[in-house]
Amino acid sequence: MSNDTQAPVFVSSDAAREVFRWEDAIAALQQAYSHPTPAKATPPRTVASVDKTWLRTLPAIPPKSRYYGAKLMGSDMGSATPGIEYVIVLFDRITNRIAAFIDGNLVTGFRTASTSASALDRLAPKGPARLAVLGSGLEASMHIRAFASVRQLSDVTVFSPTQARRDAFAAAVTSDLGIPARGVASAQEAVEGADIVLTAARSRDERPILFGDWLKPGATVVSIGSTIPEQREIDISVVERSDLIICDTLEEVLEETGDMLAASAAGIEFHYKAFSLADLMSGACDEALVKARAPMFKSVGGGLQDIVVAELILTKALAAGLATPLPIEFETKR
């Protein structure tokens, strides 16, 4: 099914889940980040807010793609029915029309984990790896599945504050992926001996949950939980330990995340060892990569990731007949 002459379509999370494959998304993101992308094609996210109401927008125009668009998310946190809804709007370069509305909630998890896995695939040594996970939410669950598509995971240890949740999480990993997994009573215990460490759960009081002296030599760190100045996840000792820091959005990670702001305030210099994900994929930081013994990937998310993965899902959903045509037509301004 082509969308050349069709009305706009809606792609639900159920449809996205049915057509999504980690390997496809990781390959698409690695390809997208390997191409030069003008800064104007991926402007910074914007946030409008009044009191407890906020609206965030993440636009992107991937240079080599058919579709472009933006993800919108908003909420009134003072509402009697709190919650956040996400929508990705895609425009079609060929028809010059609005092509699709995609439920962005699941896509956000898919793109975050796929982006982390695309970086991990270049940063972590090949071969079996022990994975430590700090967190037991949706992001942590998706990251394990994404990581398992690029590395053989020999075992998984998971820590989160609630024993029932971490034990259930570990049981699901073993059941779904066939990987031995267990919950442990502390973050330090989880990290001990791990080859890859994922931090996917900020502490409730915004204190660091990972420290540099817990990490074994050669361990690769992936940090996704601190995305704004007020949030903390990793200690400054992790930043100091890291000899290569890959950032999905370089300036936002270095200048707008609580972890990096704390490291800067402590006098730790890290800009010289920080590179963008595009640098990693294009080979621009190969010399630093070869020398790296303590790499870290730190992510805040970005519109390019949303649009690349949304395009992949839309294309597959159209082919599978899982996109729902909408009984609407937009007036085109000429």
- Looking at residue 58, its pLDDT comes to 96
What stretches of 123-191 adopt beta strand conformation (E)? 129-134, 153-159, 181-183
Domains and CATH numbers, the chain: 9-108+304-325 (3.30.1780.10), 119-301 (3.40.50.720)
- Looking at residue 201, its pLDDT comes to 84
- Looking at residue 4, its pLDDT comes to 52
C-alpha dist (Å) from residue 28 to 62, 151, 217: 11, 18, 31
Cα-to-chain-centroid distance, residue 194: 21
Cβ(138)–Cβ(167) below 8 Å:
no
Cα-to-chain-centroid distance, residue 310: 13
Specify the DSSP element, H or E, that contains 121: helix 104-123
- Looking at residue 204, its pLDDT comes to 67
- pLDDT tens, N- to C-terminus, the chain (334 residues): 455 557 999 999 999 999 999 999 999 999 999 988 999 999 988 999 999 999 999 999 999 899 999 999 999 989 999 899 999 999 999 999 999 999 999 999 999 999 999 999 999 999 999 999 999 999 999 999 999 999 999 999 999 999 999 999 999 999 999 999 999 999 999 999 999 999 998 766 788 999 999 999 999 999 998 888 889 999 999 999 999 999 999 999 999 999 999 999 999 999 999 999 999 999 999 999 999 999 999 999 999 999 999 999 999 999 999 999 999 999 998 8
- Looking at residue 1, its pLDDT comes to 46
Tokens at 90, concatenated: 């895609």
C-alpha dist (Å) from residue 240 to 219, 263, 267, 268: 14, 8, 10, 7
* pTM over 0.85, yes/no: yes
Q: Is 328 exposed, middle or buried (0-12, 13-18, 19+ CB in 10 A)?
A: exposed
Q: How many helical (H) and strand (E) elements, i.e. helices and strands, does the chain have?
A: 12, 15
- Looking at residue 64, its pLDDT comes to 86
Cβ(162)–Cβ(135) below 8 Å:
no
- Looking at residue 227, its pLDDT comes to 87
